[in-house]
Amino acid sequence: MESEAVHNPFTVINHQDQNYRTPWSTILVEDQALLRNILSKTIQLDPQFDWKGDAPDGITGLKLCKEMHPHLLVTDLHLPGMDGIELSREALKAHPGIRILVLTNLKDPYTLHQLQEIGIHGYVEKDQPLEIFEEAMVEVASGKTYFTALLHRHLSELEEGERSFVKFLSVKEQRIVALVGEGMTSKQIAEKLKLSPRSVETYRYRIMHRLDFQSTSELVDYARQQGLTGDRFE
């Protein structure tokens, strides 16, 4: 099987109309202490970057962004308090010119779709070598975008998939599927979403029919495969 790393697996797009100068002020948000310390020291050792601090969670990370106004935000997605997706969204609202590089092990369709919708500037899987992280930081900070071939492939599959949630489900239907995936009954879902149990049953019937599923277990498996989980909609 051909490895994606054999042929340059990254797409770099240069935005010539922007004038970026080093050193780039940078903030890191990562909940794992060891990794956070390693990456922070990596940033501090590179003269192209002006390290402004790090944070172990999204809420602290957003506060730091508002205080320091960094040029570059490097963030994990799976964070306590406020996840990296919400952090990125709020950081872009507060500072539209901020550049964002995401580090994550999450590769499910729902996560990738959210990253695309938010408009993050770079994405690197955590299993990539440190050199890739360093390269991605420079590319994103300098006004380019940096995405792995894996991300492009998954996004293509998401757009072309016969049962892609993007094609088949509204936001409300996505949430219902997520709650079914969490094992909730129609009555429990109705209480949580402030709907009538009959409305939830109607939604479930339409979803099952549209996706051609014959059992709830198929819908539960689908929710997990697509990354539709209850905590994503809290």
Average pLDDT over residues 21-25: 86
**Are 124 and 132 in contact, with CB atoms under 8 Å apart?**
yes
Total of domains in the chain: 2
Per the domain annotation, does 4 fall within a domain? Answer: no
| pLDDT mean across residues, the chain | 83
Question: How confident is the model at residue 96, as a pLDDT?
Answer: 92
Q: Which of 159, 192, 214 is the last residue of a domain?
A: 159
Which among 163, 230, 173, 228 is positioned nearest to 199, based on CA atoms? 173
- Is the same domain home to 34 and 111? yes
- Is the same domain home to 142 and 46? yes
How is the chain split among helix, strand and coil, in percent rounded to 5? 50, 15, 30
- Is the same domain home to 185 and 83? no
Question: How confident is the model at residue 95, as a pLDDT?
Answer: 93
Question: How confident is the model at residue 134, as a pLDDT?
Answer: 94
Q: How confident is the model at residue 130 (pLDDT cuts 50, 70, 90)?
A: very high
Strand partners, 73: 27, 100
Per the domain annotation, does 124 fall within a domain? Answer: yes
Which residue has better confidence, 155 or 30?
Answer: 30
Q: Which of 137, 159, 181 is the last residue of a domain?
A: 159
Q: How confident is the model at residue 15 (pLDDT cuts 50, 70, 90)?
A: very low
Q: Print the domain residue range for 125.
A: 10-159
- Is the same domain home to 188 and 132? no
Question: How confident is the model at residue 101, as a pLDDT?
Answer: 97
Q: How far apart are CA 39 and CA 1, in angstroms?
A: 32
Per the domain annotation, does 5 fall within a domain? Answer: no
Per the domain annotation, does 53 fall within a domain? Answer: yes
Per the domain annotation, does 148 fall within a domain? Answer: yes
- Is the same domain home to 112 and 224? no
Per the domain annotation, does 198 fall within a domain? Answer: yes
- Is the same domain home to 153 and 215? no
- Is the same domain home to 119 and 185? no
- Is the same domain home to 68 and 118? yes
Q: Which of 97, 130, 159 is the last residue of a domain?
A: 159
Res 158 pLDDT > 70: no
Of 12-21, 55-64, 123-132, 187-196, give the lowest mean pLDDT range. 12-21
Q: How confident is the model at residue 99 (pLDDT cuts 50, 70, 90)?
A: very high
Beta strands in the chain (DSSP E): 10-14, 24-29, 49-55, 72-76, 99-104, 122-125, 144-148
Res 142 pLDDT > 90: yes
Question: How confident is the model at residue 155, as a pLDDT?
Answer: 64
Question: How confident is the model at residue 174, as a pLDDT?
Answer: 82
Which among 52, 53, 54, 56 is positioned nearest to 32, based on CA atoms? 56
- Is the same domain home to 106 and 25? yes
Question: How confident is the model at residue 29, as a pLDDT?
Answer: 97
Per the domain annotation, does 115 fall within a domain? Answer: yes
Can you give the CATH number for the domain in which 73 is found? 3.40.50.2300
- Is the same domain home to 47 and 151? yes
- Is the same domain home to 149 and 173? no
- Is the same domain home to 90 and 66? yes
Per the domain annotation, does 138 fall within a domain? Answer: yes
